[in-house]
């Protein structure tokens, strides 16, 4: 008899012991529609319950950057499960005053306003204006961007409009002015339910209007980007890996010049203890097509003048250590980046060191004050700083 019971236990399908999701209850929503939350969940009523799917569902919700906290709880009874999600939302409308200072006394100031949750469905709208002051060179930019999140199930759409003007000098010291207008379109497809693998296609018309000595140019860029993002937004820090490759190239038959670039990026944020993290980064890039002293690509190295980081190629590696000084309220992040913008003028190995101070205003849930200071240690190094203040309550 014991043998019979043992055989029945072994042969009985495991599904007979699994629980079914009876219902999913969602609490705490103010600005976000319940339909949005349910669409992000990998668990559905009537399906078999899975702790792993619940964990990944919480990650999906946190990675939308709309929620300060998502607390799941599970109630089991008679082979069924009730899942409850207590959600604490971030306030969706964010003002971002911007200020960047340089050692020569010039500064850039402006304002950006973001709505992270248009219509309660995670669509985003950004509008901003920035301008340099007390500078020998004129420069300003204003822009408008709209992101439609998962408008067609797993597909995002985006459109933007940018207008900028800046003045610079050519190799002979002659000043010229560039007026730029661009209207980018893009489409992003999430290739799996966890939204780890992401594929983007884009098209961006750009018009450049020069004063002498350059001729006006029109470009129509096509772009392709693949990103593998297995990171998780922990609100006070990000944990996990993210890498991507992007290709941008102008359509030869309708653009003034055939030019473009290939860029590769990698980052890994490793949790050390609590909210402490070590961050490793690698950036590679190369220009494609048209060769000249213009239309160069820029290396991601703060603390240097433009001519030092503009070149045909670049390779940059960086490491940062982010540590909370006061609980989860005040963070410091010293950073070092080393790299080269190959074929820049002149071509040198560049070292940049910086410090970022970030404060979360707890009474506003996660109001953020962020200050950055970077210094280039090599030839042509400069000191640059930026200050950004935002509130999300």
265 three-state secondary structure: strand
Exposure class string for 310-329: b at 16+ Cβ within 10 A, else e: bbbbbbbebebebbbeeeee
Domain range annotation of the chain: 2-89, 93-390
pLDDT in tens, the chain (393 residues): 555 544 444 444 444 457 899 999 999 999 999 999 999 999 999 999 999 999 999 999 999 989 988 999 999 988 899 999 999 998 888 887 887 777 677 888 898 888 999 999 999 999 999 998 887 777 899 999 999 999 998 999 999 999 999 887 766 767 788 899 999 999 999 999 999 999 999 999 999 998 877 788 999 999 999 999 999 988 888 999 999 999 999 999 899 989 999 999 999 999 998 889 999 999 999 999 887 777 888 898 888 777 778 888 999 999 999 999 887 778 899 999 999 888 766 667 889 898 888 877 644 444 567 777 888 887 777 777 665 554 443
Query: What does pTM read for this prediction?
Result: 0.84
Handedness of CA 288, 294, 295, 296 (dihedral sign): positive
276-289 vs 297-298, strand pairing mode = unpaired
Question: In this structure, what DSSP letter does residue 306 have?
Answer: H
Name the architecture of domain 93-390: Beta Barrel (2.40)
Q: Is the peptide bond before 298 cis (omega within 30 degrees of 0)?
A: no
Cα–Cα distance between 173 and 149 in angstroms, integer? 46
Cα–Cα distance between 127 and 146 in angstroms, integer? 9
Cα–Cα distance between 95 and 127 in angstroms, integer? 10
Give 269: exposed, middle or buried? Use CB within 10 Å, 0-12, 13-18, 19+: buried
Residue with tokens 């690698």: 282
Cα–Cα distance between 304 and 314 in angstroms, integer? 14
- Token representation of residue 91: 């306030």
Cα–Cα distance between 340 and 347 in angstroms, integer? 7
Cα–Cα distance between 18 and 12 in angstroms, integer? 12
52 three-state secondary structure: helix
Comparing 2-89 with 93-390, is the CATH topology the same?
A: no
CATH code reported for the domain at 2-89: 3.10.20.310
Q: What radius of gyration, in Å, describes the C-alpha atoms of the chain?
A: 25
At residue 242, the pLDDT reads 97
At residue 237, the pLDDT reads 87
């Amino acid at each position: 008899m014991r043998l019979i019971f043992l055989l029945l236990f072994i042969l009985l399908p495991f599904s007979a012991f699994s629980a079914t999701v009876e219902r999913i209850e969602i609490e705490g929503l103010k600005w976000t529609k319940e339909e949005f939350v349910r669409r992000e969940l990998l668990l559905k009523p009537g399906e078999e319950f899975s702790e792993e799917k619940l964990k990944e569902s919480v990650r999906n919700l946190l990675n939308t950057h709309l929620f300060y906290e998502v607390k799941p709880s599970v109630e089991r009874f008679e082979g069924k499960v009730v899942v409850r999600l207590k959600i604490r939302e971030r306030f969706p409308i964010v003002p971002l005053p911007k200020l960047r200072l340089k050692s020569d006394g010039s500064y850039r100031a402006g304002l950006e306003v973001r709505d992270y949750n248009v219509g309660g469905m995670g669509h985003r709208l950004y509008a901003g204006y920035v301008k340099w002051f007390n500078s020998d060179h004129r420069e300003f930019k204003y822009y408008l961007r709209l992101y439609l999140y998962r408008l067609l199930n797993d597909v995002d759409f985006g459109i933007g409009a940018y207008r900028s003007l800046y003045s610079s000098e050519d190799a002979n010291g002659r000043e010229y002015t560039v007026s730029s207008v661009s209207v980018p379109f893009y489409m992003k497809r999430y290739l799996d339910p966890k939204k780890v693998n992401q594929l983007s296609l884009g098209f961006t018309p750009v018009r450049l209007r020069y004063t002498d000595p350059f001729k006006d140019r029109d470009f129509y860029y096509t772009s392709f980007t693949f990103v593998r993002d297995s990171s998780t937004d922990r609100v006070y820090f990000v944990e996990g890996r993210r890498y991507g490759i992007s290709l941008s190239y102008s359509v030869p038959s309708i653009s003034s010049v055939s030019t473009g670039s290939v860029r590769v990026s990698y980052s890994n944020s490793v949790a050390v203890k609590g909210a402490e993290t070590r961050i490793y980064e690698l950036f590679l890039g190369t220009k494609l097509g048209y060769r000249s002293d213009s239309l160069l690509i820029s290396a991601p190295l703060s603390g240097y003048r433009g001519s030092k980081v503009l070149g045909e190629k670049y390779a940059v590696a960086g490491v940062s250590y982010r540590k909370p000084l006061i609980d989860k309220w005040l963070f410091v992040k010293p950073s070092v980046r080393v790299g080269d913008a190959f074929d820049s003028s002149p071509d040198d190995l560049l070292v940049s060191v910086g410090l970022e101070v970030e404060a979360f205003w707890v009474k506003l849930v996660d109001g953020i004050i962020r200050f950055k200071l970077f210094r280039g240690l090599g030839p042509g190094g400069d000191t640059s700083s930026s200050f950004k203040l935002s509130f999300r309550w």
